[in-house]
């Protein structure tokens, strides 16, 4: 969820936003520039951001790689805290079809739990594509106001002030989660704003749920995207299932699909639209009480344009 989760996020945040410039190179630079804003409204390039419900789950997405989030038990203000925080190192790579080359990157990720009511996250991420390298940074805070309601606030950015940039110049995320009377059932929702170089920007509104049932966690979410200029609207849905126990192992799958729409830039703007889907598998394994590893496989298809296969490896230390 994760990092099922704005997954951006798958980023991969959101993720992870939420895409591939080269897919529209045959239409010229104008079409390629407008395509960038869709990169961050697509879960396959921007990790979904629904971490508000999870005490130790990062609430903002990496924008570089879609990943399945670190699973955690159902949120609670009671009980003993397992640790003060977690540090992770990641590395990923994607093989993109249609001669678009190898895309790879990585990052440093710090998660802090100073209290049962407050969780913090900071990330530094880079991505290298043929002929260019971009970086982004993320900071987020998750606040548990009560045992039944929490919010997460995130800001990220670092992309150049250029309408053709891959990473946004700045991105804001606001998310919330609400416990319902149904045992283990939470409602989630949020809003994202992305700003690239003028005039390219994007908005994402989302709604969904999380169901905790013993060792099983089930999540569903729908993103309602608005790409500007043109106010082009589209919808992308995703779902995830994971099984395991915190401190031992987790395995899971995340799948999504939908439509992307935007307006190209240039002397003669026109509307463009594609459909696609993404599929991810992940496993998180603790080798000791404080050290473990995560492996994620990602597959994404944009019909008639391109597809990619990719994987990510993470090592984590809890302290």
State the greatest distance between any 2 C-alpha atoms of the chain, in Å, as a whole number.
61
Output phi, psi for 41, to 5 deg: -100, 5
What domain count does the chain have?
A: 1
Residues in the chain, overall count: 319
Residue 303: its pLDDT value, please?
Answer: 78
Is residue 32 within 8 Å of 25, Cβ to Cβ?
Answer: yes
Residues 6+ apart with CB under 8 A from 144: 55, 75, 77, 116, 117, 118, 150
Measure the CA–CA gap between 294 and 282, rounded to whole angstroms: 7
Count of other CB atoms within 10 angstroms of residue 146: 9
Residues 6+ apart with CB under 8 A from 86: 56, 110, 111, 316, 317, 318, 319
Residue 17: its pLDDT value, please?
Answer: 30
Instruction: Tell me which residue range forms the domain holding 198.
Output: 21-318
Residue 264: its pLDDT value, please?
Answer: 62
Measure the CA–CA gap between 316 and 288, rounded to whole angstroms: 11
119-139 b/e with 16+ CB inside 10 Å = b?
A: bbbebebbbbbeeeebebebe
Measure the CA–CA gap between 295 and 47, rounded to whole angstroms: 15
Is residue 270 within 8 Å of 262, Cβ to Cβ?
Answer: no
253 in any annotated domain: yes
Structure token digits, residue 113: 């739990």
Q: How far is CA 265 from CA 28, 32, 41, in A?
A: 10, 9, 18
Supply the mean pLDDT for the chain.
75
Dump pLDDT digits (tens) for 73-85.
Answer: 565 554 455 679 9
Residue 227: its pLDDT value, please?
Answer: 86
7 in any annotated domain: no
Three-state DSSP string of 169-187: CEEEEEEEEEECCCCCEEE
15 in any annotated domain: no
Is residue 183 within 8 Å of 153, Cβ to Cβ?
Answer: no
Element (H, E) at 193: strand 185-195
12 in any annotated domain: no
Q: State the Cα angle at 18 between 175 and 186, rounded to 5°.
A: 30
5 in any annotated domain: no
Residues of the chain with pLDDT under 70: 1-82, 261-273
Residue 121: its pLDDT value, please?
Answer: 95
1 in any annotated domain: no
pTM here is 0.74
> Among 105, 45, 100, 53, which Cα is nearest to 276's?
45
Residue 75: its pLDDT value, please?
Answer: 58
280 in any annotated domain: yes
CATH number of the domain within which 197 lies? 2.40.160.40
97 in any annotated domain: yes
């Amino acid at each position: 969820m994760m990092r099922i989760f704005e997954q951006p996020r798958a980023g991969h945040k959101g993720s992870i936003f939420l895409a591939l410039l080269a897919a529209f190179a045959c239409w010229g630079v104008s079409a390629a520039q407008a395509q960038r804003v869709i990169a961050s409204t697509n879960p396959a390039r921007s990790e979904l951001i629904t971490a508000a419900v999870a005490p130790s789950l990062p609430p903002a997405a990496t924008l570089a790689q879609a990943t399945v989030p670190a699973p955690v038990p159902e949120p609670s203000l009671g009980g003993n805290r397992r640790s003060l925080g977690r540090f992770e190192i990641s590395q990923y790579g994607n093989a993109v079809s249609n001669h678009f080359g190898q895309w790879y990157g990585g990052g440093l990720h710090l998660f802090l739990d100073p209290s049962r009511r407050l969780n913090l996250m900071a990330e530094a991420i880079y991505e290298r594509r043929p002929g260019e390298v971009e970086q982004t940074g993320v900071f987020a805070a998750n606040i548990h106001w009560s045992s039944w309601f929490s919010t997460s606030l995130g800001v990220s950015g670092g992309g150049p002030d250029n309408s053709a940039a891959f990473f946004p110049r700045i991105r804001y995320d606001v998310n919330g989660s609400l416990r319902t009377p149904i045992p283990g059932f939470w409602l989630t929702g949020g809003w994202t704003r992305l700003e690239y170089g003028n005039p390219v920007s994007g908005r994402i509104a989302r709604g969904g749920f999380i169901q905790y049932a013993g060792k099983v966690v089930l999540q569903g979410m729908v993103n309602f995207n608005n790409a500007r200029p043109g106010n082009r609207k589209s919808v992308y849905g995703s779902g995830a299932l994971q099984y395991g126990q915190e401190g031992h192992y987790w395995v899971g799958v995340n799948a999504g699909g939908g439509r992307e729409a935007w307006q190209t830039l240039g002397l003669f703007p026109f509307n463009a639209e594609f459909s696609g889907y993404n599929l991810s598998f992940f496993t998180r394994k603790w080798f000791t009480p404080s050290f473990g590893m995560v492996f994620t496989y990602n597959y994404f298809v944009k019909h008639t344009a391109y597809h990619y296969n990719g994987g990510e490896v993470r090592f984590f230390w809890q302290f």
